[in-house]
Copies of this chain bind each other. A is one copy, B any other.
């Protein structure tokens, strides 16, 4: 599993929450973490080797969590810059993508499903799980991550095994 973090602050609460979610969804494995801010200005162009390597890591993941704080009621420009590095339609063709957003209060709770998930879908990901929206103040103790993981882990397991078996990959 890979965790992609689109917070302009390094080592953010977004990253902490995304890692907790990864653990809850796949307790037995350690996720690869991509803290996008470390890629820096290379994200503003195309062809940077470190960016290409990050893209490859995500493409080859069975499951990737795409995590962002809520800025202006939606995901960050930093995360979007990274998503623009993938091929449209097929860039995430073999990946189950999980949209995760954190906000200070509940008013933007629709953003993961209405805004972040569609862009992942557009890049070809299997977005089988609903978006998860967490309070950036209480996520480590409010139980939301555990409830979500308990509800959706079986779906993820079913899909990941299918993907790894290569059956999902047979498409144009």
Contacts and interface: CB of A to CB of B under 8 A. Distances in A.
Interface of A: 8, 37, 40-41, 43-45, 71-74, 76-84, 86, 88, 105-111, 113-115, 117-119, 121-123, 126-128, 130-131, 147, 150-151, 154-155, 157-159, 161-162, 167-168, 170-172
19 contacts: A41-B44, A44-B44, A71-B80, A71-B84, A72-B80, A72-B123, A73-B119, A76-B80, A80-B80, A81-B81, A107-B109, A110-B111, A115-B115, A127-B127, A147-B172, A150-B170, A155-B159, A158-B167, A158-B168
Contacts of A83: 72, 77
A147 B90 CA distance: 14
Given A8-B45, A114-B115, A158-B158, 17 more contacts: A8-B44, A72-B122, A74-B122, A81-B81, A106-B106, A109-B110, A113-B122, A121-B131, A126-B128, A126-B155, A127-B127, A127-B130, A128-B159, A155-B168, A158-B159, A158-B167, A158-B168
A171 B44 CA distance: 37
A157 B32 CA distance: 29
A121 B37 CA distance: 27
Of the listed residues A77, A80, A123, A127, the one surrounded by the most CB atoms of chain B closer than 10 A to its CB is A77
